[in-house]
Amino acid sequence: MLLDLGISLAALALGAWVALVPEQGPLALLYFLLARLAYVLYASFELRAQSFRLGQESRELAESRHVRFNRRVFRLQNLDGIAFTSLCVATRSTLPWDKWEPGLLAAGFFLILIGVGSKAWAVRCLGPSSYTWHDFFVPKERFEPCRSGPYRYFQDPMYTLGYLQTYGVALVCGSWYGLSASLFAQASILIVNELVEKPHFRRLCGAVAKPVQSP
């Protein structure tokens, strides 16, 4: 608990410094890139390793692994969010919007509303544990792809519509750096989805006739 608090306070302090001290745009960009890469690379390596361990360890051990993973990935998610927001604030008003400012501000708030709402709706359909990849550690006895909620209309709403709020924050700040960072962040998580998550769930789908059981 104290370690998490200390890391969060340090991340906020660094984020506030790069966001509010003038001429810190390059440092804010570096902060964001390092935070984003730390998050997606850690999640990728841990999830891929756990995917191959699936079914080879007891449920208790798998649950304890998930607790540790959840704690670490949550720290990195917080760091990633702080770094992205700091970048948008540090590079605010870099869009040449002039007469388009009211419309772009409205579009930004609209994207934030749609993005947050879509992600929350998707998490509600899949369950809170889906947000931290619990099925990589302790899969359900029978895996069936979700077909309700936003999944009736979109294949990966958490990684498509669920990222619209990042573009919205960038528009509200008027930051073209933020828009570029949003594209990079979404592309990186889609790569994780394609290379790590989809192969894992294809294996789970193939095991429907023979459910994975803990030894």
| pTM passes above 0.75 | yes
pLDDT of residue 158: 86
Write the pLDDT tens digit of every residue in 90-126: 998 888 876 667 888 899 999 999 999 988 888 877 7
Please state at what angle helix 25-53 crosses helix 2-20, rounded to 10 degrees.
Answer: 150
CA distance 44 to 40: 6
pLDDT of amino acid 212: 40
pLDDT < 70: residue spans in the chain:
1-5, 7-8, 20, 22, 98-100, 141-146, 148, 206-215
The pLDDT of residue 213 is 40
pLDDT of 2:
64
Predicted pLDDT at 204: 73
Predicted confidence at residue 135, as pLDDT, reads 83
- Of 153, 143, 152, 156, the C-alpha closest to 189 is 156
